[in-house]
Amino acid sequence: MGLSACALTDQPAVSQPPVRKGGAYRLTIGKTPAVLTLQDIESLFIRRGAEQYSGEPVTQLEHALQCAALAEAEGADDELVTAALLHDLGHLLQDLGETPTLRGVDDVHQYAALPFLRGLFGERVLGGIQLHVDAKRYLCATRPGYHEALSEDSKRSLKLQGGTFSDEQAQAFIARAGAPDAVRLRIWDDLAKTAGAPTPPLSHFLTRARRCALGAGAA
Ligand SMILES: [Fe+2]
Ligand SMILES: [Fe+2]
């Protein structure tokens, strides 16, 4: 079931508009999380994409577009490009204010969007989104110099997210389905913070997302 695009505007057309609860927007129809449509996602980026990405010199939309563009430049397929575009969508479904890591808050954004995307995309897209935080913990454990090169906000959030993996945790992580893709995504993620970097427009990546979307939400 798709949620009207209007549900993410100030004048929702569905019976149960977004309800802010515990710092997050809960989009529900009855007791079931509503599945976002691609139109909803576009509306969300239009509405909140201009917000600054905490502690970084880019907006939320610029970060998403740069991450997707880097994926595309490396020849990633539609699902991985879409995961790159949407990996931080969870930030846009929350309202935790400026730089929550400075207040010791882990927003668990890697999980926040999943209930709303399940049904719109398959496991490969969802897995890239879900695992992109653990991929950072993996890279800190396995790639010399990776941690040092992280932005200050990313170093702060790492501590809140459980810190660098042990060797055992790193091995277990990379054996998971989707983990190698998530590691690729993470590297693009870390690079997608360049002020003013040119990218294709959102519509370009939504076209790619539509090609790998499932069901009515792709309309
Ligand atoms: Fe993230
Ligand atoms: Fe990100």
Calpha distance 160→147 (Å, rounded): 15
Identify the CATH number of the domain in which residue 70 sits. 1.10.3210.10
Q: What's the pLDDT at 33?
A: 58
Q: What's the pLDDT at 21?
A: 44
Q: What's the pLDDT at 15?
A: 28
Residue 11 CA, ligand 1 centroid: distance in Å: 29
Residue 129 CA, ligand 2 centroid: distance in Å: 10
* Single pTM value for the model: 0.85
Q: Which residues of the chain have pLDDT under 70?
A: 1-33, 216-217, 219
Number of the ligand closest to the Cα of 107: 1
Q: What's the pLDDT at 82?
A: 98
Residue 189 CA, ligand 2 centroid: distance in Å: 5
Calpha distance 24→61 (Å, rounded): 19
The number of domains in the chain is 1
Q: What's the pLDDT at 200?
A: 98
Residue 3 CA, ligand 2 centroid: distance in Å: 25
Q: Which structural domain range is residue 10 located in?
A: 5-218
The count of residues in the chain is 219
**3 state SS of 194:** coil
Longest dimension (CA), the chain: 52
Residue 213 CA, ligand 2 centroid: distance in Å: 21
Q: How distant, in Å, are the alpha carbons of 2, 39, 114, 117, 189 from that of 215? A: 9, 13, 17, 12, 28
Q: What's the pLDDT at 214?
A: 92
Calpha distance 82→159 (Å, rounded): 27
